Structure 1
Amino acid sequence: MSENARLTVGDKAPEFTLLDSTEKPVSLADYEGRKVIVYFYPAAMTPGCTKQACDFRDSLAELTGQGIDVVGISPDKPAKLAKFVERDELTFPLLSDPEKEVLTAWGAFGEKKLYGKVVQGVIRSTFLVDENGVIEAAQYNVRATGHVAKLRRDLSV
């Protein structure tokens, strides 16, 4: 299984501008001066991705209280993201990367094992980007369940 380029602590976060669920462009530069969690997930409205998104939603007040925003990115189109936001009352931006260019730039798309088989797909990943756009934490192959609680422990939030 070949490894795609992965980001590590201290790397400059790759810039992006993607459409959110309302088709408004959102850029990493919009978060300059604040910390932001950028997380990548395979597909809106699937059980694991729903659990993870709802965990971020339920932790958002504590995270923003510590100066940390949250952005989720998947290959889903904005219309599907809009349904996900509405259905689960998600209160942070979900961004659409159907070409998988941002996913690839962040090392969150490539070969992975799924039920014992090697497949191409989204690698569930989470990053903390500091106020200056530098990677402060990079976690690949995270589990959907319990990940946000672990992340909050790691960040002391």
Structure 2
Amino acid sequence: MAERLIPGDTAPDFTLKDHHGHEVALASYRGRNTVIYFYPAASTPACAQQACDFRDSLAVLQDAGYEVLGVSPDPVKDLEKFAAEESLTFPLLSDEGHHVADAYAAWGEKKNYGRTYQGLIRSTIVVDPDGKVAVAQYNVRATGHVGKLLRDLKLNNK
């Protein structure tokens, strides 16, 4: 597992397919602030809540110059269904081999009900216009995370 990213690190570059099957490269977001959030599974209650929180805050983020990318180990067809079910308008990226999650230290050991296993660690990385990590948050909660991120970025909408 890669070491956790910290502010100032160069964000690992990647190209993944989005929920429409189109390739999306992080390099194409240079010059803009980009929120990359890693979530475990499309169409699950916690992940839907987090995605809808990003959807509902998207205008605030975009008005402040931030783009949003969601990344999960789900296949493209599951992401397409998830985006349609939740009316998500930002790219959801398929990282089936979890190579990008590995590079961002968002894949690793998890514990649940006394069981230890490898899986996606809910994480959010904000990449600045120069491709450097501005914010790195690991083990975030699905509920309330977007509100906390907005406060951390000083984008309070309330």
Q: Deviation of residue 116 (structure 1)?
A: 3.3
Letter in 1 for 2:84: E
Give a deviation string over 1:23-58, Cα, whole Å, max 9, x none: 000010111000000000000000000000000000
Partner of 1:75: 73
Q: Deviation of residue 8 (structure 1)?
A: 0.8
Tell me how far apart the structure 2 counterparts of residues 141 and 154 of structure 1 sit (CA, whole Å): 16
Point out 4+ residue stretches in structure 1 off by more than 3 angstroms: none
Tell me how far apart the structure 1 counterparts of residues 121 and 54 of structure 2 sit (CA, whole Å): 18
Letter in 2 for 1:13: A
Tell me how far apart the structure 2 counterparts of residues 36 and 80 of structure 1 sit (CA, whole Å): 23
Pair 1:102 & 2:90 matched: no
Partner of 2:116: 118
How many residue pairs end up in the alignment? 155
Contact 1:20–1:78 under 8 Å retained in 2: yes
TM-score of the aligned structures, taking structure 1 as reference length = 0.96
Q: Deviation of residue 4 (structure 1)?
A: 4.7
Partner of 1:63: 61
Contact 1:38–1:128 under 8 Å retained in 2: yes
Q: 1:25 aligns with which of 17, 23, 26?
A: 23
Give a deviation string over 1:84-131, Cα, whole Å, max 9, x none: 000100010000010110010000001022233221100000011000
Q: Deviation of residue 5 (structure 1)?
A: 1.7
Gaps of 5+ in 1: none
Pairing of 1:20-59 with structure 2 (within 5 A): 20-59=18-57
Letter in 2 for 1:52: Q
Q: 2:143 aligns with which of 142, 145, 148?
A: 145
Alignment identity in percent?
Answer: 56
Tell me how far apart the structure 1 counterparts of residues 123 and 114 of structure 2 sit (CA, whole Å): 19
Partner of 1:130: 128
Tell me how far apart the structure 2 counterparts of residues 116 and 68 of structure 1 sit (CA, whole Å): 38
TM-score of the aligned structures, taking structure 2 as reference length = 0.96
Tell me how far apart the structure 2 counterparts of residues 56 and 115 of structure 1 sit (CA, whole Å): 28
Contact 1:73–1:94 under 8 Å retained in 2: yes
Contact 1:4–1:110 under 8 Å retained in 2: no
RMSD: 0.9
